[in-house]
Amino acid sequence: MADLARMRLEYETAGIDAPDLDPDPLVQFDRWLHAAVDADVTEPNAMVLATIDDDGQPWSRYVLLKSVDRGFTFYSNYTSFKSEHLSAHPLACLTFGWLELRRQVVVAGTVEQVPEAESDEYWSLRPRGAQLGAWASRQSLPVADRGVIDNWYQEAQTRFPDEVPRPPHWGGWRIVPHTVEFWQGRPNRLHDRIRYHVSPEVDGQGKPIWRRYRLSP
């Protein structure tokens, strides 16, 4: 077994400070995301989505970020476990981990389904194989073996020889943040943490006003 207690990597990186970051955390997030893309980070839009079930049990899994506007949007089967959790308890947390850059971003907020037109627009960009996969998957349901899934996929291919419509049970979720934290690894485990929290007020253009402050590592 790996010696976990002695497994350690020192983070020798430049720090961050609140005045150096954009006043809007979504703008700052976009900068860091582009930096992750430029650094060839594996799956830079991968994020851990944390939800809770009816028993208060937390669950987490990776999903892929597909757009950022006033919130963070991903797409899924609406009958999946995570969608059931989000429908019943519309709060979620996201974590982006760009380990090559010694960075992470944590987002907490409320959850909403995206409009159907928005889901349709993204659906049209998906490869045909992924579209058929959305029809084939009975997401989160037990299956006897892989052959069952392969048969469902073949059935979808036969059913839709040409254009593949978006399934009515498939679409987007948007996490609208009330808190965003930027984390930069530093030496001696004295990491930099800058947290944004949305205030009740809005500016003259009706946009949210964010407060920034440093947290102890």
Q: How far apart are CA 50 and CA 94, in angstroms?
A: 6
Q: How far apart are the first and last CA of the chain?
A: 29
Q: Are 15 and 184 a contacting pair, CB within 8 Å? A: yes
Q: Are 71 and 177 a contacting pair, CB within 8 Å? A: yes
Q: How far apart are CA 97 and CA 43, in angstroms?
A: 10
Other beta carbons less than 10 A from residue 25's beta carbon = 24
Tell me which DSSP letter residue 74 carries. Answer: E
DSSP string covering 8-32, please? ----------GGGS-SSHHHHHHHH
The residue from 189, 193, 195, 211 that is catalytic is 189
To the query of whether residue 166 is one of the catalytic residues in this protein, the response is no
Q: How far apart are CA 106 and CA 76, in angstroms?
A: 21
Q: Which residues are catalytically annotated?
A: 189
